[in-house]
Structure 1
Amino acid sequence: MMAAARKLMGFCLAIALVWLVVAEMPRPLAVAPDLALTTITGKQIDLKALRGKPVVVTFWATDCPGCIKEIPHLIELYEDYHARGLELIAVAMYYDPPSHVVAMSETRQLPYPVVLDLKASYARAFGQVALTPTTFLVAPDGRIALQYTGLADNQTLKNAIETFLKG
């Protein structure tokens, strides 16, 4: 009887863990939210005004190993495609100290805009983003074309950006 109870308890624990992981994943969106963002340099970015261009929005944190690993790829994307119309916006999570975000932006010489999400309102607008990195590719028509929780597939992202820039 004890073995059966342990198996049942283990099964319930596994189900609870799966539920927690799924609950923490951002909800899929059909269309990017219309947000007005303020960068760490005080510049205003209106997502709706960027319609007509592909836009990468990545949620990150300075203490996130995957986020740090992605920075060179994001810089490469920005440098390769920005002149052709790509916009890339990095949104620092609400729990990330602003001084850390500014320091990392300067140390890593991030060429793209960095935004602080001090009240988690941007994360909520993008479907309750809680895990980092979480990256969205917004198509020129405003719909969410790709969404990654965890490291993005760089080649798939590049291919989609190329398609949008050709069209």
Structure 2
Amino acid sequence: MQASPVPPSRNKLFVKLAAVVVVAAIAVGGFLSLSSTKSAPDVTFVDLQGTRIALSSLRGKVVMVNFWATSCTTCVKEMPQMIDTYERYNARGLDFVAVAMSYDPPNYVLNFTETRKLPFTVALDPQDTLAKAFGDVKLTPTTFLIDKKGKIIKRYVGEPDFAALHQLLEVALAG
């Protein structure tokens, strides 16, 4: 005995219903991701001079935390724009910490920092402690934008759209 085939009109109805459900799920997910902000982890950075900087001590400022590596071509490519962004907004309350990945040899990081004259804090993460605290960062570059209250506003994986980032910074620094 064979099952009777589903009429074509019923198939079309099912496809349309499935599409509506998918679109609704995406819309709800997008709304929730915009409406909920996650607190930045309570971490302490150690810069190249050995100075300890607690992220909590930067409250009241907008902070960018950029995970990068000297072996990452996108990281190297975006660094001049990161420097420009820092210099453009630092006087208005932006702070910036560039966190070198654990696999990046410290002497490479130091050389890169000195030859490129990086104007912001550069920290090492030899045990992956910082990367794990920020959600187990593995891909570089990954940049977090944190508001004055310590909430993560945005996470960028890969090079950010700097025009959009600057618009977001304008809003965050004004708030």
TM-score bracket for this pair, using the shorter chain length:
0.7 to 0.9
Verify: 1:91 aligned to 2:99, yes or no.
yes
Larger Cα Rg: Structure 1 or Structure 2? Answer: 2
1:30 match: 38
Query: Which consecutive residues of structure 2, in runs of 5 or more, have no partner in the other structure?
Result: 1-36
Aligned residues: 140
Q: Are residue 104 (structure 1) and residue 112 (structure 2) matched?
A: yes
CA distance in 1, matches of 2:54, 2:106: 21
Q: Alignment partner of 1:146: what SS?
A: strand
SS in 2 for 1:94: coil
- State the percentage of identical aligned residues: 48
CA distance in 1, matches of 2:51, 2:116: 19
2:164 paired residue number: 156
Distance 2:57 2:70 in 1: 28
Q: CA RMSD in A?
A: 1.3
TM-score computed with the length of structure 2 as normaliser: 0.77
Counterpart AA for 1:154: F
1:43 Cα deviation (Å)? 2.0
Stretches of 4+ aligned residues off by more than 6 angstroms: none
**Which residue number corresponds to residue 61 of structure 1?**
69
Q: What's the CA shift string for 1:86-129, capped at 9, x where partnerless? A: 00000000000000000000011100010000000000000000
Give the Cα separation in 2 of the matches to 1:31 and 1:89.
Answer: 17
Q: Report 1 or 2 for greater relative contact order, CA contacts < 8 Å, sequence distance ≥ 6.
A: 1
- Matches for 1:60-139 after TM superposition, within 5 Å: 60-139=68-147
The residue type paired with residue 166 of structure 1 is: A
Q: 2:52 corresponds to which letter in structure 1?
A: Q
Deviations 1:41-66 (Å, cap 9, x if unpaired)? 22221101111111000000000000
Structure 1: segments with no counterpart, 5+ residues: 1-28
State the shift of 1:143 in Å: 1.0
